[in-house]
Amino acid sequence: MQKKGTRQLTVKMLIAMAAAVLCGLAVIALRESLTGSGREAVWNTINNLLFADISAAGNEKAVGLFYIIGQLFVKALQLVIVPMVFTSIVLAMLRIADSRKLGRISGKTVGMFLLTTVTSIILAAVVGILAYNAGLFRNTALDMAGSTGKTGSNPLMIILNAVPNNLVSALSNNGGVLAIVVLALAVGLAVNALKDKVTVLPKLCEEIGEIINKFLSFVVDKFGPLAIFCLITRTCATYGIAHLRPAIAYVLLTVALLLLVLFGGYALVVKITTGLSPRPFVKKISKVALFGFSTSSSAATLPLNLKTTTEDLGVQDEIASFVLPLGMTVNMDGTAIMQVIATIFIAGCAGYELSLPTVLLIGVLAIIASIGTPAAPGAGAVILFTILSGVGFVGEMALMAYSLILAINRPIEMLVTALNVVGDSACAMAVAKSENALDEERYRA
């Protein structure tokens, strides 16, 4: 029954996505037709009724039906991020009673994260430099002359922000998930050391986990397909053809590389690290990728990813509950790929020379910035400015190119999220296999 329900949900999500793409293309055609024939008022009426962001200034009288449905769904998922991350990591550490095993799993997890991230960055740097040397990123028409960049901060601030100075504020901030991870690790280690002296907290975490699972099953199963349809259709309506025409080389190159890693790279990781056929992985993880693509939020996708990785891919709960929440905050392969290519694109647009030390610095900053990127929609493009600041790409033309990235990056961010969440699951399988914690029969089923 559980397997049948999982397949039905996957089918529903695929149908919702296909319908959303078709509907989105129709909406784009309608938008171009109306705005191109001088009937902007008609399009504005349709947009205000269905797609407008009702929280934005000037939209006080808009209805934004698709926006409301999509945001209600995302907010329902965000509601459980903090308690889910905290309880899952604490319980995972309590289940690993052997401190040596805990240290071993932590080392393997971080090692896998670094391996996939560094490999992704090297691949992105090679592809980006080839495009840069071929002149694909030069003399790009930038029609946003009045734009300014976002204020950046030192990427090393991620180290300071990882340790919270206030328990209440740390547990009430969805944007500071890394601090919650550190807090959960500290609590888990302390409870492990105290052993039988602490009895209430482990039981409380288990009961909260059960409530969260029940809540998520209801939200995802009942409202997931509808929300996916609304989110993707609205994306097409909001970011029409006019925003996709500039920097076509950047868009096509980044999308092609992300798709290559998504469909080929992680299948190869599973094959090499587990010795199993990657076909079941690709088939079963597809609904997680679709969900991540639709919501553009690794945090919102975490509940479904945990469920899929344990129930469908056969990873033991103690491994998945440790690797996936940690990966959501520090393992951002897709974000790193996007940020490296975007930085090289901006260098080409602004006329900066790319030396080997500069490329190496871009790679190091991309690792740090991707770790510090919140698991939320659009965060990767904003955090990109920290890399630009680090390498000195802050001239007027660089800021214009950066503004263009912000305008066209939404579809890429959706694909980046799909890559990030699939990468977390692939790493969890690799760690589970090395610990003999992978149910291969369930994986093949």
The pLDDT assigned to 99 comes to 65
**Mean pLDDT of the residues in the chain:** 81
Q: Model's pTM, two decimal places?
A: 0.67
How far CA 151 is from CA of 76, 382, 409, in Å, comes to 30, 9, 18
CA dist., res. 430 & res. 427, Å (int): 5
**What would the mean pLDDT of 116-131 be, rounded to a whole number?**
91
Distance of alpha carbon 264 from its chain centroid, rounded?
Answer: 18
Does residue 308 fall inside a structural domain? yes
Residue 371 domain boundaries:
98-178+245-444
**What pLDDT digit, counting tens, does each position of 398-438 carry?**
777 776 676 667 678 888 889 999 999 999 999 999 999 99
> Residue type for 189, please?
L
What is the torsional sign of CA 48, 49, 50, 56? positive
Domain assignment present for residue 50? The answer is: no
| 314, 98 contact by CB (below 8 A) | no
3 state SS of 315? strand
Please name which of 420, 260, 264 lies closest in space to residue 332, comparing C-alpha atoms. Answer: 420
Distances (CA, A) of 123 to 120, 269, 339, 362: 5, 15, 12, 13
Residue 250 predicted with pLDDT over 90: no
pLDDT band at 145 (very low <50, low <70, confident <90, very high): very low
Question: What would the mean pLDDT of 135-148 be, rounded to a whole number?
Answer: 54
Give the whole-number percent of the chain exceeding pLDDT 70.
84
Residue 268: the pLDDT is 94
In total, how many domains does the chain have?
A: 1
Q: What is the CATH number of the domain that holds 387?
A: 1.10.3860.10
Other CB atoms within 10 A of residue 273 CB? 18
Residue 276 reports pLDDT greater than 90:
yes
Residue 327 belongs to some domain of the structure: yes
pLDDT at 247 over 70: no
Residue 25 belongs to some domain of the structure: no
With respect to residue 127, please indicate whether it lies within any of the assigned structural domains.
yes
Match 């052993």 to its residue by tokens: 195
The whole-number pLDDT of residue 251 equals 83
Residue 216 lies in a domain: no
User: In the beta sheet, which residues pair with residue 438?
Assistant: 315
**Domain assignment of residue 57, yes or no:** no
Distance of alpha carbon 424 from alpha carbon 300, whole angstroms: 14
